[in-house]
Structure 1
Amino acid sequence: MTQHYFTLLYLLLIGLPFFDTFIESTLNHPENYLDLTETGTVRVLILEKENPNVIRINAKDAPLSFQLDEREITLKPGDGFVFVYLGTDGVTFKKGGISEQSKKLTIHNQGGLIQLFSQETSTRYYRGDLEIEFRDRAGLQMINAVGLEDYVTSVIGSEMNFREMDALKSQAVVSRTYTLWSMHKSAWPGFHLKDHEQNQVYKGELISRPDYAEAAQATAGEILTWSNKLILAAYSSTCGGTTGNNSEMWTGPDLPYLNPINDRQMCSLSPHYEWETELSTKDFFDFIKARYAFTPVDFDIQTHPSGRVSTITFYDRFSKELTFAGNEFRLIINRHFDNMTLKSTLFTVHQNGSRIHISGNGLGHGVGMCQWGAKGFANAGWNYSDILSFYFSGTKIVDLNDIEEQKIALSN
């Protein structure tokens, strides 16, 4: 009997407000080093998913300088709006009677906030500079070059809309660590991370919540290390009672700081702690048939020791097999049916005639820190260092500014 494995290089879960991805290939790289002197500015691809063709820009509290191909225009607070939109073969800039087109537009921010509005996003605010470049008729490419701590401040609130300060501090350290890892591992030319779930959610400055900046400032420069190496600080929304091992989700060696951990039901307040869903058996099998030219009549599920689904194998009437890894299958199903069909790989399946009933726990891949669990522990009086030690076994919090020679190895 033959087996077919379908591997995804990037694990995206479209539409969730929480980090839920991992670049699988990074686990197979040899040990390498990150130069910390080059990590002060993070380059983030923004609004890729929203893909607005028209944006309105205002200088909120400091002047903005718009650098076109052969011209520079200054916009001061109170000067009104600038419109930037997709032209026929470039970026079109329009302010009052001025209309210019260029392949690239750079907005230099003189210390304030760039106020950006589009129909797709409403109003957002960004620190740092903004580069807008014409890709093709499909849209504009926008890159925000922002300071590391300003970026972390935004990610805290974009990822974790909680009030518990020690949960927010936990998110700050984890996000900062993951950011540095991604800056070194990024395969994208021109930028380090994307502003959605493929990396971390980043919505710019969240001006109504100063506690996010407080959490970032209180932990400024702090990162997680294991054996003096920068760790892969994975995290997800809700572990559902137990976290998973990284090798259960992705190929590569076991990472000693990402072991399965019973989180003592600390994430039980999450709306995703327990869930159920149903699918039509016919729709379920027809999808497999249409996509993979394989006609299933039955299936079988295997689980890891943690209880998470390791593989799902379909059988046809000739006893041939079609096998998927558990997390791979979750993502495939979510793209086809609904992005919340399989919220995690911690689930069981019962087929009852024409219906397939699925019950599960948790939201996301479940590896590393559980965000709702961090909230639960913070409510129980734990401080952020204890929370991080719990979820990342054997790790240590260090200040990146204190690292000798400003160079650190990455844990693989």
Structure 2
Amino acid sequence: MVVFIMICLPYVLTWMISYNDREKFIAQRASGDIITVDTGDGVREIAFEDYTAGVLAMQMDPKSSPEALKAQAVIVRTNLAEGFERQEAYVPGEPYMTVAQMEEKGISEQILAAAESTKDEILCYGDRPIMASFHAISSGSTRNASEALKSDEYPYLVQVDSSQDVRAADYLKRVELTPAQIVEKCRTEYPQLSVAQSGDSAERLQIKILSRDSSDYVLSIQVGDTVMPGEQFRKLLDLPSSCFTMEAGNGAVAIITKGLGHGLGMSQYGAEQMAEGGSTYSEILAAYFPGTVLVKKAEQF
């Protein structure tokens, strides 16, 4: 019996330490800012930093480099702060994991560490939290909000070189659709869309890219008699990106995309590459959001 206890004691102590650390983290978080969130099944109250960690767990691969995870943690917290400043009765509804769910998946250690080491830090431009946009993979450079959103309200969302993204496994994708499928998908948003002719080519289908931004993303495209934004066309056809070219033939239209996501703000793949190259999370954020500064949330609000 004594031998059994001696053998098991180290494991029992390890479990107790782990459990105590978890309880300490929860207690520490519970003493912080409490916010109301929309879970999809109703609303509940949760500590601000718990929610930050929970959203982070949903938005980025927990196996990412620690500095890339920290950068994403700041982005999550910044977007929450921006939402609360912009809207008095703001109730965030981002999907998130509880600490218990993270533990079940074996990802709590790295996620909680990223949230804890950046606690209360947000990105500001001037004296206000920014709209911290992010995406998975850029086309090779991020986008100017002045072009993509036709707004000068986001001077920190500018074209930034992210040429390392071209090495990503999901950088290039090819989607093939028939002309009928394209029309059908577009008509879910534009039921009055009219096509004069049918055929197996983009020309006969009357698909024409009208404009692109400086990062090569499609800004506007014409399908039949209807002109729509490139991002909307992308969503209607469920394309990985609005940076695309088209090839027609053999009864189908092939759409070749570059990148994954809308292309604004931080590229998560680019952030990972910078982190692996030795960049800190603050350097990553400074690169993707020029002109912004890191501040403590408590100092700002």
TM over 0.5: yes
Asked whether the 8 Å contact 1:289–1:295 carries over to 2, the reply is no
Instruction: Quote the offset at 1:231 in angstroms.
Output: 0.9
Residue of structure 1 equivalent to 2:215: 306
1:328 matched to 2:232? The reply is yes
Asked whether the 8 Å contact 2:186–2:236 carries over to 1, the reply is no
Asked whether the 8 Å contact 1:226–1:395 carries over to 2, the reply is yes
Aligned partners of 1:353 and 1:286: how far apart in 2? 19
Q: TM-score, normalised by structure 1?
A: 0.58
1:238 matched to 2:147? The reply is no
1:137-174 deviation per Cα after TM superposition (whole angstroms, max 9, x unaligned): xxxx3223111111111122211113311001101111
Amino acid at match of 1:174: I
Secondary structure of the 1:313 match is strand
Asked whether the 8 Å contact 1:42–1:183 carries over to 2, the reply is no
Instruction: Quote the offset at 1:278 in angstroms.
Output: 0.6
Aligned partners of 1:257 and 1:212: how far apart in 2? 27
Asked whether the 8 Å contact 2:171–2:258 carries over to 1, the reply is yes
Instruction: Quote the offset at 1:269 in angstroms.
Output: 5.0
1:203-214 equivalences under 5 Å are 203-205=97-99, 206-207=102-103, 208-209=106-107, 210-214=109-113
Instruction: Quote the offset at 1:401 in angstroms.
Output: 2.2
Instruction: Quote the offset at 1:281 in angstroms.
Output: 1.8
Secondary structure of the 2:237 match is helix
Residue of structure 2 equivalent to 1:365: 262
Unaligned runs of 5+ in 1: 1-38, 49-140, 196-200, 316-320, 335-341, 407-412
Aligned partners of 1:247 and 1:287: how far apart in 2? 28
Match of 2:72 among 156, 162, 171: 171
Match of 2:281 among 384, 399, 406: 384
Aligned partners of 1:235 and 1:287: how far apart in 2? 26
Secondary structure of the 1:168 match is helix
Asked whether the 8 Å contact 1:240–1:274 carries over to 2, the reply is no
Asked whether the 8 Å contact 2:125–2:292 carries over to 1, the reply is yes
Counterparts in 2 of 1:287 and 1:371: CA distance versus 1, 3 Å: closer
Residue of structure 1 equivalent to 2:48: 148
Counterparts in 2 of 1:192 and 1:269: CA distance versus 1, 3 Å: farther
1:241-390 equivalences under 5 Å are 241-265=140-164, 267-288=165-186, 291-296=190-195, 297-301=205-209, 302-315=211-224, 321-334=225-238, 342-390=239-287
Aligned partners of 2:65 and 2:115: how far apart in 1? 13
Residue of structure 1 equivalent to 2:57: 157
Aligned partners of 2:133 and 2:181: how far apart in 1? 34
Residue of structure 2 equivalent to 1:128: none
Instruction: Quote the offset at 1:289 in angstroms.
Output: 5.5
Amino acid at match of 2:67: D
Amino acid at match of 2:114: A
Aligned partners of 2:72 and 2:150: how far apart in 1? 25
Count residues with an aligned counterpart. Answer: 253
Instruction: Quote the offset at 1:344 in angstroms.
Output: 1.0
* Fraction of identical pairs, as percent: 27
Match of 2:37 among 21, 40, 44: 44
Counterparts in 2 of 1:153 and 1:326: CA distance versus 1, 3 Å: same
Q: TM-score, normalised by structure 2?
A: 0.78
1:274-301 deviation per Cα after TM superposition (whole angstroms, max 9, x unaligned): 1111111232234445752222231210
Secondary structure of the 1:145 match is strand
Residue of structure 1 equivalent to 2:120: 221
Instruction: Quote the offset at 1:305 in angstroms.
Output: 1.7
Instruction: Quote the offset at 1:366 in angstroms.
Output: 1.2
Secondary structure of the 1:178 match is helix
Asked whether the 8 Å contact 1:158–1:202 carries over to 2, the reply is yes
Give the aligned CA root-mean-square deviation in angstroms. 2.1
Which range moves more in the overlay, 386-395 or 224-233? Answer: 224-233
Match of 1:185 among 81, 86, 89: 86
Q: Which has the higher helix share?
A: 2
Counterparts in 2 of 1:380 and 1:258: CA distance versus 1, 3 Å: same
